[in-house]
A = this chain, B = another copy of it.
Amino acid sequence: MSERIIKAFKNAAIEKKNRQDYFNIAVSVDCVIFGYDNHELYVLLMQSDLEEFQGLNSLLGDLVRPSEDLTEASFRILWERTGLQNVYLEQVHTFGKVCRHPSGRVITTAYFSLIDMQHQQLNIAEHQLDWYPVRKVKRLAFDHLEILQLCLQQLQQKVMERPVVFHLLPPLFSLRELQSVFEAILGIELDRRNFRKKIAIKDWIIDTNTLEKEVNHRPGKLYKLKAGLVNNFRPYQ
């Protein structure tokens, strides 16, 4: 008689009873919301409302409710904290250090979001939020600085692979603005000619045959993202 046949099965209910101390974790969602303005990449932060982190900022997050999916939670939290719906939201990484939260074991899944901060209506005052230049953020509550840094790294890696950066821009933009967004994300200056060549190869954008208005330099052509390239817009349900 082979070992496979006499294998003993476990039962889900008994399994839970035997490992009750494993079912003692809370899960949270933290949203890293990037915005762009005037050559600078920003992140949306809130004042921590935990006594233990008084005076520090944190990412926008909350515990996942017992009856709520992870994705639902991320949209709900973004909506509750900012009034935003229909934004680009992408899961990045889950952070599971044992002592990362003073309330007990809380594992957190980080999402990042990119929004056009000039043209989105955020309930900033109401929720004690503010935009901070990413490169100036040196301290955050919990392990949120580590989370922010990983999300920034991922954004930097993705920026040339997929057309995500356009979420940061208005529907019509100049190549000058587009280059400036890339520079703000990558933290480096790019050569104008090389950049334009690379973007042309990507085939992400089309010329709208219109020009910039009210700019204090020679008006540049305005471009827009090709139809069908915007993905991952999911409404909060």
Contacts and interface: CB of A to CB of B under 8 A. Distances in A.
B54 A9 contact: yes
Interface in A23-80: 23-27, 47, 49-52, 54, 63-71, 73
A27 B27 contact: yes
A226 interface: no
Interface string A146-189: 00000000000000010000000000000000000000000000
Given A21-B66, A27-B27, A128-B7, A50 B15 contact: yes
Contact of A50 (B9, B51, B96, B98): B9
Interface string A75-105: 0000000000000000101111110011111
A5 to B, nearest CB: 11
Contacts of A22: 26, 63-66
A71 B50 contact: no
Number of copies of this chain that the complex holds: 2
Contact of A26 (B19, B70, B161): B19
A13 interface: yes
A180 B9 CA distance: 39
A113 interface: no
A16 B21 CA distance: 16
A7 B109 contact: no
A121 interface: no
A189 to B, nearest CB: 24
Contact of A27 (B10, B13, B107): B107
